[in-house]
Amino acid sequence: MKSQWDDRTAATLRDAVDERVYSSRLLGADSMLVLHGGGNTSVKVRERNIFGDEEEILYVKGSGWDLETIERAGFAPVRLQALLRLSTLRELPDDRMALELRKALTTPSAPDPSVEAILHALIPHRFVDHTHADAVLTVMNTPSGGARIREIYGDTVLVVPYVMPGFKLARECKARLDEGELAGKRGMILMSHGVFSFADSAKESYERMIDLVDAAESYLRSRAAWTVAWEAGKPSPGASSLETCAFRRELSRMAGAPMIVATHTDPQARGFASRPDLETISQQGPATPDHVLRTKRVPLVGGDLRAYAARYEAYFRENAARIARKLTMLDPAPRVILDAGVGMRTCGTTAREARIVEHLYRHTMDLIVRATSLEAYRALQAGDLFDVEYWVLEQAKLGGKKAGKPFQGEIALVTGAASGIGRACAEKLLACGACVVALDRSQAVTELIASPEFLGIRCDVTHRDEVASALDQGIEAFGGLDIAVLNAGIFPESRPIESLSEETWEAAMRVNLDANFSLMRQVHRYLRLAPNGGRAIVVGSKNVRAPGPGAAAYSVSKAALTQLARVAALEWGADGVRVNVVHPNAVFDTGIWTAGIVEERAKSYGMTPDQYKRSNVLKTEITSGDVAAVILDLCGEAFRKVTGAQVPIDGGNERVI
């Protein structure tokens, strides 16, 4: 562990708060120090208020901000005197504390101050840094962790036994600070939780943190307990896509909402999941109490979800009984699953959340292995973790929880997704909370959208094997398939029947009809396992009901595709899978229409391009986004009892009406 402090960068910083931002980001950038929202930092500065009085203000990390990306606005300015006064109270329930912290802000729009704000205020130094560094947690999370910490740090740090974070921890530390126990110390170790450093300059406080963590790392190295080697091992049979979908369906039912389930089969995931001591080492608890909110207390080992839920309910009942407040049980579904035959699965209501769980648990796996090779891995007892999981402020969040986005936790497949209607569908589905597996012949699809919820795969839908492989990749990334938008299609050059080549005819049938037939055959078994019922949307054409001369191949292929969708609606209804068709017309912002073609067509009808684009009953232009909006509605709540429908999206076409 080395300092990343750069004096030249630091010299450009305006003031102490900027320095605070800079060194907070240095901490946040190293996942061995800080993970996803973990850790917090502060600085004390003097400011003049509107009356001209000088006040001491604590700028402390605001909740909802990550140290890695924090900005000035991420620090909540709290009046120091108010915090110190709060620390003299004998008792302060944490929900009341949160309210008092807000009242002490100098800026009403600031984020909620960290729950450790009072503790930061109590530490007399200007800069205070707090992390849950892996190396320190590894050493302390062993049976003789306390002795080892003393062995490493001697009396250069203050060691505080575990106390629930929040006001209780602040009170515990205040008692020790009042006794002068912090004098001459360069840090503070909170057992089973993390580490604090402090100093009067940003650089010194940061570098003390690095030194403290480096000392633990060196200790582990010297005892051959640092390097973790994950061997590839022999490949396990793995789970089939169908097994993954079935697993996700049961897990989603348990969680009460569709969930994203990411499957990991790399050497670390498989190596850890197939350790002979897995049952023991994985069931101790998380490395630091914070993680319990994301990963739950323990992972599921194997595949028995029901048994896990029963154990979770027992844990809840047992611990809720000793708490006076009325508690609402969280869903009993696991967030981490370790299965020797599969590897690791991580779950969340979004792909982003599942990825955070993955990162946390990857660090935990290394940490457990290191602690095991040092001595043995120990975590906090269940009751202490329960108190964090069911902390009053976390419970309050449940009450005020906003309804999620309409497709949150669902997974949609979109073909022909690199442009036009397909791309508009992918973008709208993402905006509405879905994960999107986007297929296209164009390589551009792989880099279309940078998001953990998006997986772009180059795929020719006329090749069955490419489609099968893309579906497997999508299911490995997200866990299932809820929605399929069958959009990919071609519009061959206009020709009268007598001069229409057989190649053109066959190409239209191959892409517009055969490929969709093959795709439907392949997706049905996954769609029927969608937790809220599968949905397929077929993109037809106005030409189905109002064909145009010269478009025989196109019109016939789309008409046959529509008929296929109608039969699918009949056959798949019993599985709860809905199949509906949209018939767009004259969508000019797709790849097919260039400005030149529009102009040429308009001229042949004696219209301007604008008149031509609006030549429908409503005199309105239809965009890809308009079509995508109809497709999303058809997949949504309002149409949950509709199947086999055909919806025109064409501004009104006289021949269709």
Q: Note the residues at the interface with Zn ion (CB under 5 A).
A: 194
Pairing of strands 54-61, 40-48: antiparallel
Q: Considering the complex, state which of residue 120 and residue 148 has its C-beta at the smaller distance from Zn ion.
A: 120
3-class secondary-structure state, position 382: helix
Angle, helices 202-222 vs 145-153, to 10°: value is 120
Q: What's the closest the beta carbon of residue 389 comes to Zn ion, in angstroms?
A: 15
Q: Considering the complex, state which of residue 194 and residue 474 has its C-beta at the smaller distance from Zn ion.
A: 194
Q: What's the closest the beta carbon of residue 169 comes to Zn ion, in angstroms?
A: 9
Q: Considering the complex, state which of residue 62 and residue 416 has its C-beta at the smaller distance from Zn ion.
A: 62
Q: What's the closest the beta carbon of residue 386 comes to Zn ion, in angstroms?
A: 17
Catalogue the E-assigned strands of 103-252: 127-131, 157-160, 187-190, 194-199
Q: What's the closest the beta carbon of residue 130 comes to Zn ion, in angstroms?
A: 6
Residues 41 and 27 sit within 8 Å (Cβ to Cβ)? yes
Q: What's the closest the beta carbon of residue 486 comes to Zn ion, in angstroms?
A: 49
Q: What's the closest the beta carbon of residue 165 comes to Zn ion, in angstroms?
A: 6
Q: To which H or E segment does residue 291 belong?
A: none
Q: What's the closest the beta carbon of residue 138 comes to Zn ion, in angstroms?
A: 16
Q: Considering the complex, state which of residue 194 and residue 492 has its C-beta at the smaller distance from Zn ion.
A: 194
Q: Considering the complex, state which of residue 194 and residue 422 has its C-beta at the smaller distance from Zn ion.
A: 194
How do the residues of the chain divide into helix, strand and coil, expressed in percent and rounded to 5? 45, 15, 40
Q: Considering the complex, state which of residue 60 and residue 300 has its C-beta at the smaller distance from Zn ion.
A: 60
Q: Considering the complex, state which of residue 194 and residue 285 has its C-beta at the smaller distance from Zn ion.
A: 194
Picking from 540, 580, 588, 530, the residue whose alpha carbon sits closest to that of residue 561 is 540
Residue with structure tokens 């608890």?
A: 285
Q: What's the closest the beta carbon of residue 289 comes to Zn ion, in angstroms?
A: 8
- Separation between Cα atoms, residue 552 and residue 35, nearest integer Å: 59
Q: Considering the complex, state which of residue 37 and residue 258 has its C-beta at the smaller distance from Zn ion.
A: 37
Q: What's the closest the beta carbon of residue 168 comes to Zn ion, in angstroms?
A: 13
Q: What's the closest the beta carbon of residue 54 comes to Zn ion, in angstroms?
A: 31
Q: To which H or E segment does residue 6 belong?
A: none
- Separation between Cα atoms, residue 457 and residue 476, nearest integer Å: 13
3-class secondary-structure state, position 417: coil
Picking from 93, 98, 53, 51, the residue whose alpha carbon sits closest to that of residue 78 is 98
- Separation between Cα atoms, residue 657 and residue 651, nearest integer Å: 11
When CB distances to Zn ion are compared, the closest residue is 194
Q: What's the closest the beta carbon of residue 316 comes to Zn ion, in angstroms?
A: 24
Count Cα neighbours of 461 within 13 Å in the Cβ-side half-sphere. Answer: 31
Angle, helices 420-431 vs 624-635, to 10°: value is 50
Q: What's the closest the beta carbon of residue 166 comes to Zn ion, in angstroms?
A: 10
Q: Considering the complex, state which of residue 174 and residue 223 has its C-beta at the smaller distance from Zn ion.
A: 174
Q: Considering the complex, state which of residue 194 and residue 299 has its C-beta at the smaller distance from Zn ion.
A: 194
- Write the CA distances from 549 to 36, 415, 657, integer angstroms: 60, 28, 19
- Separation between Cα atoms, residue 655 and residue 248, nearest integer Å: 46
Q: What's the closest the beta carbon of residue 35 comes to Zn ion, in angstroms?
A: 11
Angle, helices 241-255 vs 464-478, to 10°: value is 30
Backbone phi, psi, residue 642, to 5°: -115, 130
Q: What's the closest the beta carbon of residue 28 comes to Zn ion, in angstroms?
A: 14
Per-residue burial over 136-153, b = 16 or more CB atoms within 10 Å of its CB, e = otherwise: bbbbbbbeebeebbeebb
Residue with structure tokens 């292995």?
A: 369
Q: Considering the complex, state which of residue 194 and residue 271 has its C-beta at the smaller distance from Zn ion.
A: 194
Q: Considering the complex, state which of residue 287 and residue 425 has its C-beta at the smaller distance from Zn ion.
A: 287
Picking from 404, 457, 468, 465, the residue whose alpha carbon sits closest to that of residue 433 is 404
Count Cα neighbours of 168 within 13 Å in the Cβ-side half-sphere. Answer: 13
Q: Considering the complex, state which of residue 194 and residue 480 has its C-beta at the smaller distance from Zn ion.
A: 194
Q: Considering the complex, state which of residue 37 and residue 194 has its C-beta at the smaller distance from Zn ion.
A: 194
Query: Which residues have C-beta within 8 Å of that of residue 94, sequence separation ≥ 6?
Result: 115, 166, 167, 391, 392, 393
Q: What's the closest the beta carbon of residue 131 comes to Zn ion, in angstroms?
A: 8
Query: Which residues have C-beta within 8 Å of that of residue 573, sequence separation ≥ 6?
Result: 643
Q: Considering the complex, state which of residue 194 and residue 648 has its C-beta at the smaller distance from Zn ion.
A: 194
> Which residues does residue 197 pair with via DSSP β-bridges, in sequence order?
129, 187
- Write the CA distances from 253 to 246, 258, 530, integer angstroms: 11, 7, 10
